[in-house]
């Protein structure tokens, strides 16, 4: 899955939580759940990194950098950090640790629809909708 939906969908899910710790744990699980879906990926790490950093900024400034939405989003982002680390790079004979980064548990096929994948456009549309839901009337606690 693109890193953008991991960020935005998780931020929206984070609205359901009060505790940033519970939101973070759920965010990591949500990362695995999205990775299991059949999907297209892009390898444009710098472009995605820029978008995700900006979105984390939007979520943090809207909801607060200690808020559940922000930390649920962080739980979605952090597992993919190993995708760019040299010491977890399969091309260098290393292996990745996060369960859904193993090829057998990544982007599973739907029985009866082996060619179905969630397209980049769909991922982007879902991400933008989720981002709006995540920050809609979200205020850092204590702010008026
Ligand atoms: Zn992942």
Question: How far is the C-alpha of 121 from the C-alpha of 124, rounded, in Å?
Answer: 5
Cα-to-centroid distance, 34 and ligand 1 (Å): 8
121 domain-assigned: yes
Q: Would residue 22 count as lying in a domain?
A: yes
Decide if 141 is inside a domain. Answer: no
In a domain, residue 110? The reply is: no
| CA 108 / ligand 1 centre spacing (Å) | 13
Q: Residue 46: inside a domain, yes or no?
A: yes
Greatest Cα pair distance, the chain, in angstroms, is: 52
10 Å CB burial of residue 54 (0-12, 13-18, 19+) is exposed
Question: How does pLDDT run across 46-89, given as a tens digit for each residue?
Answer: 999 999 999 999 999 999 999 999 999 999 999 999 988 888 88
Give the Å distance between the CA of 120 and the centre of ligand 1.
15
Q: Is residue 86 in some structural domain?
A: yes
Domain that includes residue 28, residue range: 3-100+115-135
Q: Calculate how far, in angstroms, residue 109's C-alpha sits from the geometric centre of ligand 1.
A: 16
- Prediction pTM value: 0.92
For residue 17, give the DSSP letter: -
Q: For the segment 117-143, what is each residue's pLDDT rounded down to a tens digit? A: 999 999 999 999 999 999 999 999 865
Instruction: Calculate how far, in angstroms, residue 102's C-alpha sits from the geometric centre of ligand 1.
Output: 9
d(CA 144, CA 130) in angstroms, rounded, equals 24
Total domains, the chain: 1
């Amino acid at each position: 899955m693109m890193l953008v939906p991991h960020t935005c969908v998780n931020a929206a899910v984070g609205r359901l939580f009060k505790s940033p710790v519970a939101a973070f744990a759920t965010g990591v699980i949500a990362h695995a759940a999205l990775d299991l879906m059949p999907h297209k990926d892009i390898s444009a790490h710098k472009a995605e990194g820029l978008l995700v950093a900006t979105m984390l900024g939007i979520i943090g400034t809207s909801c607060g950098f200690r808020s559940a939405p922000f930390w649920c989003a962080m739980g979605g982002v952090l597992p993919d950090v190993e995708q760019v680390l040299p010491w977890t790079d399969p091309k260098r004979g290393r292996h990745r640790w996060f369960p859904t980064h193993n090829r057998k548990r990544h982007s599973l096929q739907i029985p009866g629809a082996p060619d179905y994948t969630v397209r980049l456009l769909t991922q982007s549309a879902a991400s933008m909708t989720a981002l709006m839901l995540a920050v809609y009337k979200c205020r850092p606690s204590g702010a008026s």
